[in-house]
Structure 1
Amino acid sequence: MSIATAAPAVLEPLTPRESEVIELVCRGLSNEEICQELYISMNTVKTFIRGAYRKIGVDTRARAVIWGFHNGYGDDSLLPTPAVA
């Protein structure tokens, strides 16, 4: 899957907590930083991340961030702008 490929649709709606975790992933926080921000354990963070990845149809953090930017998470000003021909 390349960046140019359209982001996959959500296969199942994210829970509020999964959305919150994806937002933090898109902001560049590490799993440890997410633990501290949300006052949850590392295992809980990983569980939310796995569930969100499954629901949005991605298998890497980078793809989750791309999906997030295309779906209103994070700071989309960081996305590259398409070249004008």
Structure 2
Amino acid sequence: MATSINFHKTSNMAIEINEMYCFVCESVFYELDGHELEYCPKCGQNFEEYQPDCNDGDDDTYLLIVDPVTGIPAVVRRDGEPVLAPKEGADKHE
């Protein structure tokens, strides 16, 4: 992946990810903002009874970008640092 992203040549969308805390198993998990989980992914606790707590200081915004030529997606932090690398060979189309 290139060191800088030309947002005029890629399709992109912001994704907010929240760090959550389950009071039952005392574990941290992550969920997409606006798409809350119904059960704890670690212990299976139903959140109807015990709502998880959002660690507001640790939410991050990521960008989902799609290469318009290859269709290969990549996820990067808003500051541009890659989080998930594109598939092998994706950078050969430049």
More helix, by proportion: 1
Higher normalized contact order (CA 8 Å, seq sep 6+, divided by chain length)? 1
Q: Normalising by structure 2, what TM-score?
A: 0.27
More strand, by proportion: 2
Larger radius of gyration, structure 1 or 2?
Answer: 2
